[in-house]
Amino acid sequence: MTDGHRRRIRVGIDTGGTFTDVVAVDEDSGEVVTTKTPSTPSNPADGFIAGIEKILGVMGASGHDLTAVSHGTTVATNKLLEGKVERLGFITTEGYEFMLEIARQAVPDGYGNSYFWVKPPRIVPADAVRTVGGRLDVTGAEVRPFSEDDAVAAARFFRDRGITTIGVCFLHAYANDEHELAMREVLRREHPEAVVSISSEVLREYREYERAMTTLVDAAVKPNVSRYVTNIHERLDGFTGGRPVPFYVMKSNGGVLSADEVVHQPITTVLSGPAAGALGAALIAEKAGFHKVLTCDGGGTSTDVSVVLDGEPTLTTEGSVGAYPSKIPMIDVVTVGAGGGSVAWVSPEGTLKVGPHSAGADPGPLCYGRGGTEPTITDAHVVLGRIPPHLLGGEIPLDVDAARAGLVDLAGKLGLDLETCATGILEISAWNQANALRQVSVKRGLDVRDFMLTTFGGSGSLLACRLVDVLDLAGAVVPQNPGNLSAFGLLTVDVRNDYVQTHVTRHEGIDLSSVAAVLDSLTAKGAAALTAEGFTPEQHEFVRTADLRYFGQAYEVRVPAGPGSVDEAWTDEVATRFHDEHRQLYGYDFRDDPTQHVEWVNLRVTGVGPITRPELRPLPDREGSSDVTDGLPAQRSVRPVCFDPAAGYVDTPVLWRPDLRAGDSFSGPAIVEEFGSTVPVHPGFAVRVDTWGNLVITQEATR
């Protein structure tokens, strides 16, 4: 194919624990195509390239037609969740060698009596910590000079012990990075093989423990992310015949970054996959007219939930991955081990448990026929008839007999019949997901009765009706191709870079010129990064925010700090937003109390490089009746399905979703199937198909 006739195809590809999801858009025709391929846990790059080959084959295209690839990866996430962190070194200011040991005294929820809680192991053992003389004060002024001798000794200490991954965090480096830069130069000279992360580049924000932990996590994942991204890049170049194709990686903050830059900021990818799904769900829900949305992304190994308000997922800087806190901006996602591959087992007390252990993609559930030995959530669904005896439109046949045998064995241990055991597995899974949804909503002061639930992922919609019932939600929205929504989200995401600078000052004594200087400096960094990404100055967009608190509070509230000149009116407007947000979050504010002072803590700028999003196309209307259960083309078959063990199996119409049209409506019981997912509609629920092809599910009795 000649250059003059080359098509322009942009691909989003999300690697999950079980399947790799792929979505491609033809930028000329607007055509959107989706597919899936099994993940390859031993080498995720194999599944990535297989997904690219498959989607291009479906479209009748080749590698020469690729214009860009956006990727959501779990490489950094899995490394942290599994706790497989290689030996790290830590260099800090003299006298602060026990910073990681002291940490914070907060006790996690759910542990009951705090006397029984033991802090998790340090990410760096005490014998791998070195200190360096030199001291800066809170303003960044030098109190004691940097000790070159200590720095050389620390570098040689790690070199001689073969520790090649090192994090550096000096006191008050957020205000002045000179000592950290000097330390990095010494490491480059004395220990050139070392992979180094310095806190002033990872997180230019105060609170030494969180900054140190974030820096060390960045260092810990840097070698793996670097190898993975480099491998993908090389294979992509081979796939396109050496023609370079822009390759972006999803970040935790809801943006993407070029793979070349991600290598230098690997910690920004720790929630890469879940962030893409939340962005895709936000776009779908906003288009459908829903402004308060909970998202539920169910995969093979876990379920990720988040909140979307007015089309924007909520962000946090108080997140963590596994046992490791991280203060980088990330979409506020809670993950629970309740995916399709989550294993059902009997506790020592003789009770039924589900997860968090997962059968994953290999060997997978019993019904996969790949050597799995324990029943899973997917096995329960297939035995109850809620999913068909195959996946991916028939590409992957399922062994229903193997699933039934495993569940019969489990039911026997519990003294239950088969159907009660299988529905019990699904009930526990639903409550696990409901508790995660409460964590991001009710615990944040939100009334879930006002929210719609957007379900997606391969298994995300299987329990949609049950979640609506358990949480008393307004209803559920299932987008088209829900199993590929995370990959679709990758095609909707702008390039985003976050910059922060701690700048603590009382509101009444704020120095406007210094605030303006900090914001200008952060904006300049954002502009330089966007230019390096190929965006012209006219395309640059900047979003300013600020973290404020009442004097004496330990934590801050982030509020918009809009465009415009930094003057007294601007700062007063930001303070007013802080009062309003504080009241929204905590039920009170001190705006009328002259004894309570507002304090500015952090200034933030996000540089945004906008991309062209694929257009959502309305679904055609059906001519004539909209009752699709009355023998019309959408109904393909009938099969026995068990929704309630007391009622047993009932003959249930099976609808083929691609045959549905806008305006169609039907009531449960029903099963809606498509290539990558299935939606069981329970008795007592009604479904309508909206203009954009979403299934809008509500309870008949109450709505």
Q: What is the mean pLDDT of residues 302-316?
A: 87
Say how far apart CA 442 and CA 464 lie, in whole Å: 18
Is residue 564's pLDDT more than 90? no
Structure tokens at 503: 């700048």
Task: Say what the pLDDT of residue 333 is.
Answer: 86
Length of the chain: 703
Task: Say what the pLDDT of residue 293 is.
Answer: 94
Q: Which is more confidently placed, 89 or 277?
A: 89
pLDDT tens per residue across span 626-684: 555 555 567 889 999 999 999 999 999 999 999 999 999 999 899 999 888 899 999 99
Decide: 30 and 617 in contact? Cβ < 8 Å: yes
The full set of domain ranges for the chain reads: 3-80+230-269, 81-224, 342-428, 495-609, 635-699
> Which architecture, in CATH terms, is 3-80+230-269?
2-Layer Sandwich (3.30)
Task: Say what the pLDDT of residue 541 is.
Answer: 94
The lowest-confidence range among 557-561, 566-570, 582-586, 600-604 is 582-586
How does strand 89-93 pair with strand 129-132? parallel
Structure tokens at 445: 């002061």
Decide: 173 and 199 in contact? Cβ < 8 Å: yes
Say how far apart CA 218 and CA 130 lie, in whole Å: 18
Q: What percentage of the chain has pLDDT greater than the value 90?
A: 53
Structure tokens at 385: 């008839």
pLDDT tens per residue across span 218-259: 999 998 888 888 888 888 887 777 788 888 999 888 888 888
Q: How far is CA 300 from the centre of its chain?
A: 15
Beta strands in 290-413, from DSSP E residues, in sequence order = 292-298, 303-309, 312-313, 315-316, 319-321, 324-326, 330-331, 334-336, 342-346, 352-358, 390-391, 396-397
Say how far apart CA 327 and CA 311 lie, in whole Å: 23
The lowest-confidence range among 166-180, 287-301, 393-407, 619-633 is 619-633
Decide: 102 and 95 in contact? Cβ < 8 Å: no
Q: Which is more confidently placed, 116 or 330?
A: 330
Q: Quote the mean pLDDT of the chain.
A: 88
Q: Buried (b) or exposed (e) across 366-379, using 16+ Cβ within 10 A?
A: bbbbeebebbbbbb
Confidence at 526, pLDDT banded by 50, 70, 90: very high
Q: What percentage of the chain has pLDDT greater than the value 70?
A: 94
> Which architecture, in CATH terms, is 495-609?
2-Layer Sandwich (3.30)
Q: Buried (b) or exposed (e) across 429-438, using 16+ Cβ within 10 A?
A: bbbbbbbbbb
The CA–CA distances, whole Å, from 244 to 12, 66, 237, 506 equal 17, 10, 6, 50
Is residue 533's pLDDT more than 50? yes
Confidence at 329, pLDDT banded by 50, 70, 90: confident
Q: What is the mean pLDDT of residues 440-458?
A: 88
CA atoms within 13 A on the CB side of 24: 26
Structure tokens at 593: 């109390």
Is residue 437's pLDDT more than 50? yes
Task: Say what the pLDDT of residue 703 is.
Answer: 46
Is residue 114's pLDDT more than 80? no
Task: Say what the pLDDT of residue 660 is.
Answer: 93
The CA–CA distances, whole Å, from 481 to 110, 468, 615 equal 36, 21, 15
pLDDT tens per residue across span 338-373: 788 889 999 998 899 988 888 876 788 999 888 888
Task: Say what the pLDDT of residue 88 is.
Answer: 93
The CA–CA distances, whole Å, from 403 to 242, 301, 398, 632 equal 46, 18, 9, 33
Residue type at 221? V
Q: What is the mean pLDDT of residues 176-185?
A: 96
Question: What is the pTM for the complete model shown?
Answer: 0.82
Say how far apart CA 316 and CA 105 lie, in whole Å: 20
Decide: 338 and 223 in contact? Cβ < 8 Å: no
Say how far apart CA 606 and CA 703 lie, in whole Å: 41
Task: Say what the pLDDT of residue 117 is.
Answer: 61
Decide: 38 and 66 in contact? Cβ < 8 Å: no
Task: Say what the pLDDT of residue 484 is.
Answer: 86
Confidence at 31, pLDDT banded by 50, 70, 90: confident
Q: What is the mean pLDDT of residues 590-606?
A: 94
Is residue 111's pLDDT more than 50? no
Rounded to 5°, angle at Cα 177 from 172 and 183: 105
Q: Buried (b) or exposed (e) across 472-486, using 16+ Cβ within 10 A?
A: ebbbbbbbbbbbbbb
Confidence at 624, pLDDT banded by 50, 70, 90: low
pLDDT tens per residue across span 130-163: 999 999 999 999 999 999 999 999 999 999 999 9
Of 356, 361, 337, 281, residue with least CA distance to 19: 361
Task: Say what the pLDDT of residue 627 is.
Answer: 59
Q: What is the mean pLDDT of residues 418-429?
A: 95
Is residue 554's pLDDT more than 50? yes
CATH for 81-224 (3.30.300, 3.40.1360, 1.10.3470, 1.10.8): 3.40.1360
Q: Which is more confidently placed, 67 or 546?
A: 546
The lowest-confidence range among 427-431, 436-440, 607-611, 629-633 is 629-633
The CA–CA distances, whole Å, from 141 to 8, 136, 173 equal 53, 5, 10
Q: What is the mean pLDDT of residues 572-577?
A: 96
